[in-house]
Structures are given as C-alpha cells and as structure tokens.
Chain A
Amino acid sequence: MNLHAIRAIYAFEMNRAFRTLLQSVVSPVISTVLYFVVFGAAIGSRIEEVNGVSYGAFIVPGLIMLSLLTQSVTNAAFGIYFPRFTGTIYEVLSAPVSFVEIVIGYVGAAATKSLGLGLIILATAALFVPLRIEHPVAMLAFLVLTAITFSLFGFIIGIWADGFEKLQLVPLLIITPLTFLGGSFYSIDMLPPFWQTVTLFNPVVYLISGFRWSFYGVSDVDVGVSVAMTGVFLAICIGIIWWIFRTGYRLRT
C-alpha cells in the first residue's frame, strides 16, 4: 500500500476544499437555513406532526441527506474531473499507485468534506428546531456510508463526464429530483398507493428512511432494508470503478 500517495492525494484535495471554504460550506448552509425558515418556521407551523414528530424536525434528516448527496457527488466528480480537464492526471497515472489508492485518496477526501458539511448542517438545524437523535451511532454510520457511497458515485461521474455540463447534469437532473421525491419533505405513506409503489424504486428513499429512523425511531421502510439497499448501491459503484481502472476507461488509451 502506497500510504504516502494516499495521504498526498487526500491532503491535496482537502487543501482545495479549505481554499474554497466559502463556496463549499457557506452556500449549502445558507440554502439549508432557507429551507428551515420556509418549511420549518413559516409553513411548518401549519402542518400537522408526522409520525409524532413536528414537521420542522421531520425534514431535518432529509435536508441533511439532500446536501450530503449533492455535495458528495459534486465534490468527488469535480475532484477527479478537474485533473483530467487540465491534464495533470498524467502524474497520478504515471505514479506507482494502484486504483484502490487513487480511489481512497479522492473519494476519502470528498466523503470527508461532505461528512463535515452534513454535521455543520445538523448543528445549524439544532438552532432552529428541537432535535432528538435516538440512535446516534447509527446516525453517524448512515452519514459515513452515504458520504462514501455517493462520493464513489461522483467519482464515476467525474470519469465519465467529458465536459463541465455533464458534470453538473447528474446532480441537477438525477440527485436533486430523487432526493426531493425520496421523502425529504414527506413520509411516503402520505402518497397515493400507486406512487408509494413507484417511489420504492427510488434508492434515495431507503437512505432518507434509514437516516430518519436513526433520529426518531420511525421509518418508511425497514431499517435493515435501508442498510441493505445502501450496501447494494455501494457495491455497484465499487464494481463500476473496478471496471474503469481495469479497462482504463477514459483514463488510459
């Protein structure tokens, strides 16, 4: 294991985050605060409790997930796309590093960033609504697992993308709608029966449901199913990345 290389990539990526602290932390925090103001304080006070949780508190796990997913994908995609775009990727490809080490470096840094952001948003939320976390360890585990899984997904996007448009397309057209429709703002049993079935094909449903369970002990789907589905998605991402490095897809001609 080339630990020096992992550390070099990781530190390099983290430095990039600190250099752009304003845009990488402040803007997601502000948008989350706006959600709390609108849905928590303004509209939320007129919405009934959901599963015995006040609406303002109910949306906290979903909002954290929304930021976590978007930031994980964006961070990791940008992290690997940018060196491809500028050409500096040559150095990583000519270095004595295995793809496992490259992925740990880039994905680890992206996951760390979005994890940090998730925790900041959680702290911000605590200022606006009364929070309780019934299963803190599970909550952290869900955060970490989701951050890693979606950073892997972002890494794939960053390799697949051949322009900045595609890089933004996936978070915009896939992640955001899936998260909004994945029960961030409602419990899926509020939906008509037909849409309840359809929504089960949305992988984000399982993430949000499991994550919300770690807060309030209630969930749309069984927490075991949530963990399993996250694991499946993680395995798919790892499989695709393994294939990318084996074939050199978009990396080596």
Chain B
Amino acid sequence: MPDAVIQVSNLTKTYSGGFEALKGVDLHIRKGEIFALLGPNGAGKTTLISIICGLVNPSSGQVLAGGHDVVRDYRAARSKIGLVPQELTTDAFETVWATVSFSRGLFGKPKNPDHIERILKALSLWSKRDTRIKELSGGMKRRVLIAKALSHEPEILFLDEPTAGVDVELRRDMWDVVRRLRETGVTVILTTHYIEEAEEMADRVGVIRGGEIILVEEKAELMRKLGQKRLTLHLNEPLDAVPVSLAAYDLELSSDGMVLTYSYDTQGERTGITRLIGDLREAGIRFRDLETKQSTLEEIFVSLVRSPS
C-alpha cells in the first residue's frame, strides 16, 4: 500500500511465559486517517502498539513507521510517533509546563515555547501550566499525557484507550482535539473500549482477537456489510397475532400489538421489503409510520468477537 504510514508485516510476539500475544499480524495504516483498533481485553491491542512504539521487542516480523524499521532505524521511526499510554503514568512533582517541555527535548526537538503554548491552549491546560501534576484531576492528567505526546509534533499519534475513565464532556473535547489533529495531517490510531468512540471518530476499524487481526474495514463499509437492518412498522390498529399469510417474514409483534418489526440483511439480493408491504396491504393491515434502523458498531463488534474463529 503506497500511502501506508505504518506497515506491520507478519508480526508475532511470544512473551517469556509462553503466552502468544500476537500471531502473525499484518496491518497497514493509511496516512492521515483515524484508525480504531477494537478488541476485547487481552486481544493484543496494547502489545501491538507497544511494539510499534518501541516498548516491547517483537519476536519476529517487521514494522515500518513512516518507512523506517522500528527496530533497526528506531530513531527516525520513533521521532515520528507520539504515544498516549493507557495508564495515567505521569510525574507527580513537576509542573505541566516542565513535563511537556521535557517530552519535546526527549524526542530530540529544540525548545519551542510557542508550540508548547499552542498545545496547552488547545487542550485547555494553559491555565494549569504552572500547576504540579499531582494536583490535577484524572481527566486533566490525561490531557497532560496527550500534550506530552504531541510536544514533538509527531506525524503519527497512538491513543491507547484515551477516554477510559473520562467523563462525557471531556470525552467530547478529546474527540474534537483528535479531529483537529487529523485536519493537520496527523494519523491517529486509537484503541478503545467505547465502540461509540470508534463509531463517532474512525475512518477505518480493525478488530483484533486472540492476537490476530480478524477484520479491517472502512467503518461505513463495515456497518453496511455486517449490518442487519430493522424495519419497524407502527400500526393503525392493534393485532392479536401475526397473520398466517405473513408467517414467512418472521415478523415480531410487540406485546401491545401495535408494532411489527422486520429484520433483514442489507447485503441480501432482495431485502423483501416491497413484497412485505404488498402482502401487508393484502392482509388489510394498515400502518401510520415506518422506520428503518442500522445495527450499531457495538452490535457488530459483539457479534464478531463472540463468534468462533
């Protein structure tokens, strides 16, 4: 893939205890996209990110970041990457300003107070710049970690569970931050428990289970492909039971008899909607409203990770 900013090829990781965390992962991340990596706990999300960022040594396979091998050419590769870890691991006694400036230096960039100021302002940390980190709330610490990861102007940003334990308002703020980053051309890879987050933000979604990537798809495509749709009909008059003439449609009738629900596969050759409506008229059933609803990504995800491999 020519526009891939990260290329993972046949990556494996077996921990010293014998646990096989990654079993030959292949993954391409496109430049400038927001990629959501979904998976249950222990699926290998953090291991994969940790190898790309240099925290864990791979057992075999290769990772290229911005065209640079993350092991052999680690300097060039790592200077392009910013990492926001899952745990709130921050210094305690340093000020926000000092710790963010430290990160910039660590990644080999000369001092640039203007840039640090921009980041702190964008993350609503500016008023806290001289505050010691231990005095900050959990949400504020999360912002500090993001500020640290952005301090050296990375092209690729990893967010490992960025909004875990963060209140709804702050989560919305962070999504805004991530979207603004994408506008500046930064590639964002996030792992998340909140399917809502992937659904809201991601361009593409990858699902990892048991150390294997089982699916990578455009989010819209994924939802279209795997999505069951439901047609809900609100009736004019209540029904006692679904008429025998409509038995073939596998309809569900609500307990008050006022709502009929029809599930269909959007991928199917024929959805059967036209025929259903014709048959309803034939049966003398009139409805005053109808709606269709797509499965959420959450429903898709749950069905994916539950199904046997």
Q: Complex formed: what's the CA distance from A9 to B79 in Å?
A: 16
Q: How far is A12 from B15 in the complex, measured between Cα atoms in Å?
A: 33
Question: A122 at the A/B interface (Cβ < 8 Å)?
Answer: no
| Beta-carbon nearest neighbor of A92 in chain B | B106
A contact residues around B93 at 8 Å (CB): 16, 19
Whether A253 pairs with B57 at a CB distance below 8 angstroms is yes
Most interface-central of A2, A88, A95 (chain B CB within 10 A): A95
B16 within 8 A of A: yes
> Residues 65-107 of chain B: 1 if any A CB is under 8 Å from the residue's CB, otherwise 0?
0000000001111110101010101111110001001111111
> Across the interface, do B74 and A96 meet the contact criterion of CB distance under 8 Å?
yes
Q: In the complex, what residues of B have CB within 8 A of residue A15's CB? A: 94, 98
- Contact between chains at A4 and B102 (CB < 8 Å): no
Residue among B16, B76, B78, B109 making CB contact with A4, cutoff 8 Å? B109
Residues on the B chain within 8 Å of A88, using CB: 89-91
- Closest partner residue, chain B, to A7 (CB atom): B105
A91 within 8 A of B: yes
CB of B148 within 8 A of chain A?
Answer: yes
List the A residue with the shortest CB-CB distance to B101.
A8
- Contact of B55 with A90 in the complex, beta carbons under 8 Å: yes
Residues in B with CB closer than 8 Å to A96 are 74-79, 107-108
- The smallest C-beta distance from B61 to any residue of chain A, in angstroms, reads 16
Measured CA separation A97–B75 after assembly (Å): 7
How many residues of chain B get a CB closer than 8 Å to chain A's CBs?
Answer: 35
Residues 6-23 of B at the A interface (beta carbon under 8 Å): 15-16
Give, as a whole number of angstroms, the nearest-CB distance from A205 to chain B. Answer: 39
Question: CA A92 – CA B54 in complex, angstroms?
Answer: 10
- B165 proximal to A (CB < 8 A): no
CB of B53 within 8 A of chain A? yes
In the complex where A2-B75, A2-B108, A9-B106 touch, is A94 in contact with B81 (Cβ < 8 A)?
Answer: yes
Q: Are A253 and B15 in contact (CB under 8 A)?
A: yes
Contact with B along A1-28 (1 / 0, CB 8 A): 0101101110110011001000000000
Neighbouring B residues of A92 by C-beta, 8 Å: 106
B90 to nearest A CB, angstroms? 7
The smallest beta-carbon distance between B74 and chain A, in angstroms, is 7
CB distance A94 to B78 under 8 Å? yes
Min CB–CB distance B28 → chain A (angstroms): 21
The residues of A that contact B85 with a CB separation of less than 8 Å are: 87, 90
Residues of A within 8 A of B83 (CB): 90-91, 94
CB distance from A83 to the nearest CB of B (A): 8
Instruction: Say what secondary structure dominates the interface of chain A.
Output: helix
Q: How far is the CB of A211 from chain B (nearest CB, A)?
A: 35
Q: Tell me if A94 and B53 are in contact (CB < 8 A).
A: yes
Whether the pair A253, B16 counts as a contact (CB closer than 8 A) is yes
**B110: CB under 8 A from chain A?**
yes
Check A97 against B106 for contact (C-beta < 8 Å). Answer: yes
Q: Which of A1-59 contact B (CB under 8 A)?
A: 2, 4-5, 7-9, 11-12, 15-16, 19
B302 at the interface (CB under 8 A from A): no
Bits for A160-179, please: 1 = Cβ < 8 Å to B, else 0: 00000000000000000000
Question: Is the CB of A93 closer than 8 A to any CB of chain B?
Answer: yes
Whether the Cβ atoms of A94 and B55 lie closer than 8 Å is yes
CA distance A5 to B110 in the complex (A): 9
Residues of chain A within 8 A of B148, CB atoms compared: 91
- Interface presence of B277 (CB below 8 A): no
Shortest Cβ distance from residue B157 to the other chain A in the assembled complex, whole angstroms:
12
- Chain B residues within 8 Å of A94, by CB: 53-55, 78, 81, 83
B165 to chain A, nearest CB (A): 16
Is the beta-carbon distance between A93 and B55 smaller than 8 angstroms?
yes
Q: Inside 8 A of B170's CB, which chain A residues have their CB?
A: none
Chain A residues with CB under 8 A of B81: 94
Cβ B103 vs Cβ A91 within 8 A = yes
- Shortest B54–chain A CB gap in Å is 5
Which residue, of A2, A5, A253, has the highest number of chain B Cβ atoms within 10 A?
A253
Q: Is the CB of A253 within 8 A of B56?
A: yes
Query: What residues of chain A have their CB less than 8 Å away from a CB belonging to chain B?
Result: 2, 4-5, 7-9, 11-12, 15-16, 19, 86-88, 90-98, 248, 252-253
**5 further contact pairs, Cβ within 8 A, besides A4-B110, A86-B90, A95-B106:** A5-B106, A86-B89, A86-B91, A94-B53, A97-B108
What would be 5 A-B contacts, judged by CB atoms less than 8 Å apart? A4-B108, A8-B101, A88-B89, A91-B83, A91-B148
Interface on B for A, CB 8 Å cutoff? 15-16, 53-57, 74-79, 81, 83, 85, 87, 89-94, 98, 101-110, 148
